Chains A and B, each alone.
Chain A
Amino acid sequence: MMNQEEIKKSLWVFHLNTGSCNGCDIEIVASSNPRYDIERFGTKIVGTPRHADALLITGPVTREMEKKAKRVYEQVPEPKLVISVGNCGNTGGVFYESYNLEGPIDKVFPVDVYVPGCPPRPEAIIDGLKEAWKILEGEEDEG
């Protein structure tokens, strides 16, 4: 686990539900409550993709949500990351090969971090955020 002293910049995320049952969304909310408190690592859930460094996506991307998800993805400034939260987003989960899916998420746009679980626990989501943060910090150091 990283030390808080190591964090130079804050990772702001935008949460997007592309057809999730809300299980993963509730865990994301739980990760920002005082018990897990992602804000102590500088991570904040923002209200618009234009303020975000990463997308926190739940759900398997339904047909109706594909265009909207792509638009939201486009609106995140570079460099950006996509964190897929939950089995539905990672593989399609119980909706795998459903007639109404355009996903899983990596079929619609590139995914950088996969967080498995149905739903994943807040610890797993925090771990995924840490991985995303490491990727972004690495890019900063290189470029």
Chain B
Amino acid sequence: MIGLETGYGNWSPIIWLVSLIVIAVLILFLRSLGKKDYKKEGGKDEEFFSGNEPPEEGFRGDYWGFFEVFERYYKYMEKMHSGLINDYMLWFLVVLALIVFALLVRSI
């Protein structure tokens, strides 16, 4: 059988493929049970906002109040999350260095 024995377990692309097919068939089956005559009119596909009209700009789901209050914090955090792996590795190294430093100071 095609696969990879790592000593801790095995990984087989066939099992993955079969699992994905089974999951896809299940999803399609459940989807086919849905109502065929479902209509989206009348705000049915809009976010539920306690009966209020959802704000057009800046609406971020049920946690909008949370985001609103922590907006400054999130904007600050978003700057750090640039999406570049180099930046993340730099963060990782800096945090690792700090931890090692803290452990060294403690052991002295």
Contact between A75 and B43, CB atoms less than 8 A apart:
yes
How many chain B residues touch A (CB < 8 A): the figure is 13
Task: Check B53–A71 contact: CB distance below 8 A.
Answer: yes
A78 within 8 A of B: yes
B51 contact from A72, A77, A78, Cβ within 8 A: A72
Name A's interface SS: helix
Task: Determine if B38 and A77 form an interchain contact, defined as CB atoms under 8 angstroms apart.
Answer: yes
**B39 and A78 within 8 A (CB):** yes
Q: Does A97 count as interface, using CB distance less than 8 angstroms?
A: no
Q: Are A69 and B51 in contact (CB under 8 A)?
A: yes
Task: List residues 56-97 of chain A with CB under 8 A from any CB of chain B.
Answer: 65, 67-69, 71-72, 74-75, 77-78
A35 to chain B, nearest CB (A): 29
Residue-wise interface mask of B (43-55) relative to A, using a CB-CB cutoff of 8 A (1 in contact, 0 not)? 1101010111100
Taking the complex as formed, is B72 at the interface, i.e. its CB lies under 8 A from any CB of chain A?
A: no
Docked complex Cα distance between A61 and B8 (Å) = 64
In the complex, what residue of chain B is closest to A72 when comparing beta carbons?
A: B51
Pick the contact of A75: B35, B37, B48 (CB < 8 A). Answer: B48
Count of A-B contacts judged by CB separation below 8 Å:
32
A48 at the interface (CB under 8 A from B): yes
Q: A48 to B45, alpha carbons, bound, how many Å?
A: 12
Contact present for B46 and A75 (CB under 8 Å)? yes
Give chain A nearest CB distance to B33 CB in angstroms: 12
Q: Which of B37, B46, B48, B50 gathers most chain A CB within 10 Å?
A: B48
In the complex, what distance in Å separates the CA atom of A72 from the CA atom of B53? 10
Listed by A's residue number, 11 A-B pairs whose Cβ atoms lie within 8 Å are A16-B51, A65-B51, A71-B51, A71-B52, A72-B48, A74-B44, A75-B43, A75-B44, A75-B46, A77-B35, A78-B38
Chain B residues within 8 Å of A, Cβ to Cβ: 35, 37-39, 42-44, 46, 48, 50-53
| Chain A positions near chain B (C-beta within 8 angstroms) | 16, 48-50, 65, 67-69, 71-72, 74-75, 77-78
In order of increasing CB-CB distance, the 9 nearest A-B pairs are: A68-B51, A74-B42, A48-B48, A72-B51, A71-B51, A74-B43, A75-B44, A75-B43, A50-B48
